[in-house]
Structure 1
Amino acid sequence: MTCTTALLLPGTGSDEFFVRSAFAGPLRAAGITLAAPPPPSDGTALIEGYLAAFEATAVESGGKLLVGGVSLGAHLAAEWALRHPERCSGLLLALPAWNGVPDGAPASVAARISAEMVERDGLDDALRTATDGVAPWLAAELRRAWPRHGAGLAAGLRAAGAHPAPTLEALARLRVPVGIAACTDDPVHPVAVAHAWAAALPRAHVCETTLAALGETREALGRAAVEAWQRASAL
């Protein structure tokens, strides 16, 4: 656990502000500085843009990098680590949404439906629909984050919802310590997926929290991931 910088990516339709609110404090307590890039402005190049952020930060750091993210960000961090195992020191993964192809996973379906609403109804009406009946804290996150994606929002949502996550067989090749945070009350990111990832990974631990806890403080998610990573590092 000698890394000093962690690069974390947001989930689908989210942004770096959420990543910072969840992870900056827990990482600081562990002696680690957070790097959290904003979403790429070109939604059609969302995946490539995020993967390029890992590359750029790894070059700047000159050493191994602790990487991770939330949902899509977690998928891409694991993907990057599989491509560059010699440059990755560990993974902080929050709310993985599926493994392999999406194949009707709730988060994938939600991303596609959201993209269709944005294209059909426009951003304002789509936001009203998307935030109707959801927890106030989550509604506030969506109202802030979606407009920041600009004209690339719908394309980014589509790209995220269609992009394959690493397969469980591929995850088994990762030998670095992996901390996974899961929310037991999140139907969009089933806790069973987090435990399936942990079972496949040679050195992984899951710490659970809840969306209700995130409503009180976003750091509940970051604390769970960092604690899980610290436990995995001791394996």
Structure 2
Amino acid sequence: MPPIDPSATLPPDTPLSKIPNFDPRQAPVVGVDAHLPAVGADALAPAALRRRFAEPPHWEPEIWAERRFTDRQPAKAAVLVPIVMRERPMVLLTERTAHLSTHSGQVAFPGGKQDDTDVDAADTALREAHEEIGLERPLAEVIGTLPTYTTGTMFIITPVIALVRPDYRLALNAFEVADAFEVPLDFLMNPAHHHRHAIELSGVRREWFSMPYGEDGKERFIWGATAAMLRNFYRFLSA
């Protein structure tokens, strides 16, 4: 992966929510799940991940949906969860640009709304990943999907898991993507890094996970839908 121009990344004070006077980075942490076991390194190897999806365990997602806060009609969408097949497997994530109407400035998987011409969720996820970050389809091996997750903005998202060759090259869509980076899969599959948050907003209690990750002196604040889908992925692998 070529280096990203630092001038293209978002400043640290970029708002991560459209809700007035709300910054998820400042919300209190009400718990950390260090008591739960981490997924072992052997289970995170490409061959083990392929076997897991080929013969899935009996399990249930921990989080299905967020509280609705829009009148928008539900829309099907898909995201690609790209696991880069390095010696230490990594998850490729993006940072969305600040001007987007939904989830601006947030860490996210590449993905988006399903088009009428898309064959299935995997087709949507691969198409969007190519449009957003230039990831070529032949470099991504789809090995399975997770159950849908519905955001508060009423996107019904199917997470599509893919193994990505480490020799990939990216071309970021500057309108949608401010940055792209990798996070170790074992970091994300360790509940000691899963922070629980809760806060009252306009009389409604909202709860979510975050997985803050430090890299090169910069914190990547993974939270909301992205963290929820990663939490479900943890539940799938640890079942």
TM > 0.5: no
TM-score range, shorter chain: under 0.3
- Greater helix proportion: 1
- Greater strand proportion: 2
